Structure 1
Amino acid sequence: MRVSRCVRACVRLVLLVVLTPAALLAPPPPRLSAAAAGEDGAVPAVPAAGRAWPVGVRPRVLRGWEPPATAYGRGHRGVDLAAAPGTPVVAVAAGRVSFAGRVAGRGVVSVELARTGGPPLRTTYEPVRASVAEGEAVTAGEVVGTVEPAGSHCPTPCVHWGLLRGDAYLDPLALLPPWLLRSGPSRLLPVLRVPVPG
C-alpha cells in the first residue's frame, strides 16, 4: 500500500517537473476579443466582399485593428487610414446606408453590406460629411461622403473605418481580397515562345 502511494507521488512529481516548464514556455493561445467573439466564443467569418478601399487606391494604415480583451476594454475597434480633409470616401462593397448623421459631434456613415449573411456586416466611416441618406442603396466604389476637416482622433487627418456583425467588432481589412491589399503596381510578365502576330 505504501509503495503504491509512493509511486503515485513520484509520478505526480515527475509530471509536475516535466509539464510545468513546457506550459510556461508554450505560446499563449490566441485571445479572442469578447467584443469580437460570439456567444459560443467563435469569431464570426468575414467574406472578402470589399471591392475598393474607403479612401484612395492604397491608403497608408496609420493604426490597425486591435481587438479589446473585453467588450468595454481598451483597444482599437477599426482601422485608421490616412486621408486629407475633403477626400472622397467610398463604400467598400454594395449595400444600403443604415446611418448617415452625427455622433458625438462627428459625421458618421454606416453601410449594411448586401449578401454577407445574418446579421449582415456593417461598415462605418468617420469623420465623414455624408453625401448619402439613410436607406439609400450604394454600389462598391460609390462616394458616400468626404473626410471632414475636424473630428479625427489621429495625429494626422484620417478616416476611421470600422466593421461590425451585430454588436461584434471585426477587422475591416478582412473585407478586402488579397489583390487589393498588395502594395505596389501590378506588373505584366513577358510571354515567351509565342509568335508575334504578323
Structure 2
Amino acid sequence: MRTRRRALPLRSALALLLGLLLTFLTCTARANDTPPPAPGVPPSSVPAIARTWPVGSHPLVLRGWEPPATVYGRGHRGVDLATPAGAEVRAVAPGRVSFAGRVAGRGVVAVELTGTDLRTTYEPVTATVKKGDEVEPGEVVGTVEITSSHCATTCVHWGLLRGEMYLNPLELLPPWLLSRGPSRLLPVLSF
C-alpha cells in the first residue's frame, strides 16, 4: 500500500511536468512562426523589446515580411496588420519620433527605438506626434488613414529598419505577445 501512495504523487508530478513541457513547446512553436531569412540575407539580431502591438491586441497579419533577395529586389519590407480606418496606432517600444509627415501621398510615422540602432515605421497614418517627440510603449502616434492600399481591407504597414536594411518587425515582439492567448496548464490527472 505504501508503494501505491508514493506512485500517485509521482504520476501526478509527471503529468504536471508533461503539461508544462507541452505548454512551453506550444509557446515556442508560435514564437518561431517567423519565416527564416531569404538566402543571402543574414539572420537579424533584433531584440524583443516591443511591449505592445502597433494596433489592436493581436491583429491579423494580412501579409508577412518577405525579405528581398537583393537590395532592390521584390519583397515585402514589413508586415500588414488588419485594422479599421481611424484606429489608433501606438509606438511598440520607447523611442523618439524621427519623421512624421507624408511620403508619396501617404502619412508615415517613424520612431527611432531607444538604446538601439533600429527604427519602426507605420503607414498610412495621420500623425498625432511631431519630429523630436519622445514616445513610450503604447503611446498613440497617429490614426490609420482611409486610403487605397495594397491590402484587400484597411491595414497598417509596420516596418523595421536598421540603417537602410529592412528587418522583420515581428521579431521585436517577445513570445508572450506573439501567442494568440494566455498560457494554460493542463489539468493534473490522477492515475
| TM-score normalised to structure 1 length | 0.73
Select the structure with the greater relative contact order (CA < 8 A; seq sep ≥ 6).
Answer: 2
- Residues 1:140 and 2:137 are matched in the alignment: yes
Separation in 2 of the partners of 1:55 and 1:144?
A: 11
Partner of 1:92: 92
What's the CA shift string for 1:159-181, capped at 9, x where partnerless? 00000000100000000000000
Q: CA deviation at 1:151?
A: 4.2
> In the alignment, does 2:164 pair up with 1:167?
yes
**Percent of matched pairs sharing the same residue:** 70
The Cα shift of 1:44 comes to 3.8
Given the alignment of the two structures, is residue 108 of structure 1 paired with residue 98 of structure 2, yes or no? no
**Unpaired runs of at least 5, structure 1:** 1-28, 34-41, 192-198
Paired residue type of 1:107: G
Residue 40 of structure 2, aligned match among 11, 32, 46: 32
1:50–1:92: 8 Å Cα contact kept in structure 2? yes
Structure 1 segments of 4+ aligned residues over 6 angstroms from their partners:
188-191
2:101 & 2:185 partners in 1: Cα distance?
A: 44
- Larger Rg over CA atoms: 1
Q: What TM-score comes out, normalization by structure 2 length?
A: 0.75
Q: State the alpha-carbon separation in 2 of the partners of residues 178 and 158 from structure 1.
A: 23
Instruction: Please show how residues 16-95 of structure 1 align to structure 2 within 5 Å.
Output: 31-33=39-41, 42-95=42-95
Q: Which runs of 5+ in 2 are unaligned?
A: 1-36
Q: 8 Å contact 1:53–1:90 — kept in the other structure?
A: yes
Q: Deviations over 1:137-174 (max 9, x none)?
A: 00000000000011432111000000000010000000
Report the RMSD for the aligned CA atoms in angstroms: 2.0
Tell me if 1:177 matches 2:174.
Answer: yes
Q: Provide the residue aligned with 2:34 in structure 1.
A: none
1:188 to partner: Cα distance: 7.1
Question: Relative to structure 2, which stretch is displaced further, 182-191 or 81-90?
Answer: 182-191
Q: Give the deviation of 1:32 after TM superposition.
A: 2.6
- How many Å separate the matches in 2 of 1:97 and 1:49? 17
Conservation of the 8 A alpha-carbon contact between 1:127 and 1:148: yes
